[in-house]
Chains A and B, each alone.
Chain A
Amino acid sequence: ETGVTQSPTHLIKTRGQQVTLRCSSQSGHNTVSWYQQALGQGPQFIFQYYREEENGRGNFPPRFSGLQFPNYSSELNVNALELDDSALYLCASSLMHSGANVLTFGAGSRLTVL
């Protein structure tokens, strides 16, 4: 059983640029969620995708967007990067309607915006 894999692991961008982060879900999972973890904070929900459609969104602006593909892999896109977007971005997969909503997380992509 493969876990959740994310790429790239680290990247540096400058303010105003755009970034795409990628995620492969755990085998057997059909739902993917993205979280942002700033330094010293807990993960904050960005959005969730199920059946290739957005299925819930946290308090993040529209320049944060995503995709889910038929193989349940996913992308997170952030446009017009700001300094405050510097954070660890975590992808998590799960099985919809599985009760306790246990998420399996990847190791994350650490984004630095200069």
Chain B
Amino acid sequence: DQQVKQNSPSLSVQEGRISILNCDYTNSMFDYFLWYKKYPAEGPTFLISISSIKDKNEDGRFTVFLNKSAKHLSLHIVPSQPGDSAVYFCAVTGANNLFFGTGTRLTVIP
């Protein structure tokens, strides 16, 4: 029973353009939604989060949008940089854990 789904396993974007990563979830009771980034041979690193009472949160080049009626979360990166190439996981908060999606591998082409 997958709580979080990332339907795009990979995404390629030109440097300087916008990257949009998408995520769908099943349970409308989640409180917080998070994005993590993972480089090879490293653990996931927290990127940005949003509370269920908001619909947008921005941090520099990164913006997360939350559409509660559609149970949809997206991460916008603009402008994209080659250093952004990594696997991105969305996650939602459970009682005492996070439910992760399967990840989207972003490749930013110089």
Q: Which residues of A contact B (CB under 8 A)?
A: 4, 33, 35, 40-45, 48, 50, 55-56, 58, 90, 92, 99-108
Contact = CB atoms under 8 A, between A and B. Distances in A.
B51 A44 contact: no
Contacts, number: 62
Contacts of A48: 96-97
Given A48-B96, A105-B45, A108-B43, A42 B89 contact: yes
B5 to A, nearest CB: 10
Interface string B28-44: 00001010100001111
- List the 4 closest pairs (A to B, CB-CB), nearest first: A105-B43, A42-B100, A56-B96, A45-B97
A103 B96 contact: no
A44 B100 CA distance: 7
A102 B45 CA distance: 10
B98 A45 contact: yes
Interface of B: 4, 6, 32, 34, 36, 41-46, 49, 51, 89, 91, 93-103
Nearest to B101: A42
Given A43-B89, A100-B34, A100-B51, A106 B97 contact: no
A56 B49 contact: no
Nearest to B89: A42
B9 to A, nearest CB: 8
A102 B103 contact: no
20 contacts: A4-B43, A33-B96, A35-B100, A42-B89, A42-B91, A42-B102, A43-B44, A45-B99, A50-B96, A55-B96, A90-B43, A90-B44, A100-B34, A101-B32, A101-B98, A102-B49, A105-B43, A106-B43, A107-B42, A108-B43
